[in-house]
Amino acid sequence: MVGGGDGAFIGAVHRMAARLDDEFELVAGALASTPARARASAAALRLPLERSYDDYATMAARERARADGIDMVAIVTPNDIHVVCDKPLTTSLADAADLVARVARSGLLFALTHNYSGYPMVRQARAMVAAGALGAVRTVQVEYAQEWLSTALEATGQKQATWRTDPTRSGPAGCLGDIGTHAFHLAEFVSGLSCTEVAAELSTFVAGRRLDDNAQLLLRFAGGARGALWASQVAPGSQNALRIRVFGDAAGLAWEQEHPDRLTIARLGAPPETIVRGGPGAGPAAAHATRIPGGHPEGYVEAFAQLYRDVAEQLQARVAGRAPDPRALLVPTVADGFRGVALVAAALDSSRRNGAWTALAALPASSEIQEHLHSDP
């Protein structure tokens, strides 16, 4: 991995994502722009120090020489080096065209993490449009609103804000490049249409900011569809409010990133339907990107992971002979298991006795040690 060290945000997401399906292992990295921070970050991630490199060029050279060298590199740096695989691809059109040509010649894969296209219901939406469920597409409304740059956060030195608002690092576009391009990709990805022309109004509302923080675009698509794109980082109340609506001559659909498991489709003359990931109406395109049953939001895995993480903290604290983070003590224990069994026993008894009120069995005294685990310190 190049970039993604201490203080970064997206690098950790890439690592979690790469681990989730156990298809990749992180074995080497040039994780930060200074050797010291790179090594510290590598240590934190338990990378062998000899595979923590000071820069990506060195990493490329050394790893190429290893029998067990890296198979793929995830580049998750800010936008100011000349190869990126997070968007935007480059900061100039010429560089982009050049890179496209190089990749085409190389015959290698080049994946760009327009990650929103990985949501099951976005895949479902694209498949439904492609299958003609909407008829001919007429209008595409897409927006991505955030609030976090409503003030001059970059003036505080906050890392995320600083490079995103610096034209020497982000290139000539701010909000438009940072999140507008995600909304734009989503619009073309779901609608299956190619945008041919835009009319744009870029604004900078925060005094002293050097790049746009609000963008209003009108869109014309090949074939005559029309649309609008709004991207803003100065919209209080919006966190990552990426939302798309596509309307055809037969139906319309709507999807919101903050409720990613639901896709609404309304066919003319029929009640609107809500298709839920893993539920009725979700097809193979969604199934391909679905790990767990419908109704369990995908955060379900993170909630499960939290228990594992808290257990790890308790184990590590024991080994280190220190007190664990008290918040890691909320993991349910055998005592909670007893409570559940006691509920079942009492409820069965009550039901057999025509609903008579029935007391729950108390925990054996000896489990008091366990019991305290269940309360906040």
Q: How far is the CB of 290 from a copy of itself (least distance, A)?
A: 9
State which of positions 93-152 bind a copy of itself (CB under 8 A): 93, 95-97, 99-101, 103-105, 107, 109-120, 122-123, 126-127, 130, 134, 138-139, 141, 143, 146-147, 150-151
For residue 247, the surrounding DSSP H or E stretch is strand 241-248
- Binding pattern to a copy of itself, positions 49-68, x when CB under 8 A? --------------------
Secondary structure element (H or E) that encloses residue 121, with its range: helix 120-130
Choices 28-36, 50-58, 62-70, 322-330; region in contact with a copy of itself by CB under 8 A: 322-330
What minimum distance in Å lies between the beta carbon of 225 and a copy of itself?
9
Least Å distance between CB 234 and a copy of itself? 6
| Closer of 54 and 350 to a copy of itself (Cβ) | 350
For the CB of residue 121, give the shortest distance to a copy of itself in the complex, in Å: 10
Query: Closest Cα partner for 374 from 341, 338, 329?
Result: 329
Nearer to a copy of itself, 30 or 181 (CB): 181
Give how many residues touch a copy of itself by CB under 8 A.
204
What's the min distance (Å) between Cβ of 125 and a copy of itself? 12
Shortest distance in whole angstroms from residue 21 CB to a copy of itself: 5
Nearest residue (CB) to a copy of itself, 35 versus 205: 205
- Tell me the window of 29-37, 48-56, 60-68, 82-90 that interacts with a copy of itself (CB under 8 A): 82-90
Q: What is the CA radius of gyration of the chain?
A: 26
Burial class (CB in 10 A: 0-12, 13-18, 19+), 369: exposed
Q: Is residue 248 within 8 Å of 138, Cβ to Cβ?
A: yes
Task: Give the nearest distance from C-beta 200 to a copy of itself in angstroms.
Answer: 4
Query: Pick from 36, 43, 57, 292: which binds a copy of itself (CB under 8 A)?
Result: 292
Q: Which is nearer to a copy of itself, 48 or 281 (CB)?
A: 281
Question: What is the amino acid identity at position 52?
Answer: S
- HSE-up of residue 58 (Cα within 13 Å, Cβ side): 13
Cα–Cα distance measured from residue 363 to residue 354, given in angstroms and rounded to the nearest whole number: 26
In whole angstroms, give the CA distance from residue 255 to residue 142: 10
Output the six-digit token pair for 312.
Answer: 């790890």
> Closest separation between CB of residue 59 and a copy of itself, Å?
19
Nearest to 92 by CA among 166, 164, 172: 172
**Closest by alpha carbon to 163, among 176, 152, 150, 174?**
174
Q: Is 94 exposed, middle or buried (0-12, 13-18, 19+ CB in 10 A)?
A: exposed
Residues 209-238 touching a copy of itself, rule: CB under 8 A, are 212, 214-218, 220, 224, 226-228, 230, 232, 234-238
Q: Indicate whether 162 belongs to the interface with a copy of itself (CB under 8 A).
A: no
Residue 11 CB contacts under 8 Å (≥ 6 apart), including other chains: 1, 3, 4, 5, 31, 76
Give the shortest CB-347-to-a copy of itself separation in angstroms: 4
**Shortest CA distance to 190 belongs to which of 259, 265, 258?**
265
Give the closest residue to 72 by CA, choosing from 14, 12, 13, 10: 14
* CA gap 297, 318 in Å, rounded: 33
Verify binding: residue 39, a copy of itself, rule CB under 8 A: no
Does the footprint of a copy of itself cover residue 247 (CB under 8 A)?
yes
> According to CB under 8 A, which one of 36, 43, 57, 301 is a site residue for a copy of itself?
301
Site string for a copy of itself, 172-211 (x = CB under 8 A): xx--xx--xx--xx--xx--x--xxxxxxxxx-x------
What is the amino acid identity at position 94? A
Of 285, 178, 277, nearest in space to 232 by CA: 178
Type of residue at 24: F
Contact with a copy of itself (CB under 8 A) among 7, 12, 35, 55: 12
- Applying CB under 8 A, does 34 fall inside the site for a copy of itself? no
Q: Is the dihedral of CA 61, 67, 72, 73 positive or negative?
A: negative
Of 34 and 274, the one with the shorter C-beta distance to a copy of itself is 274
40 interacts with a copy of itself by CB under 8 A: no
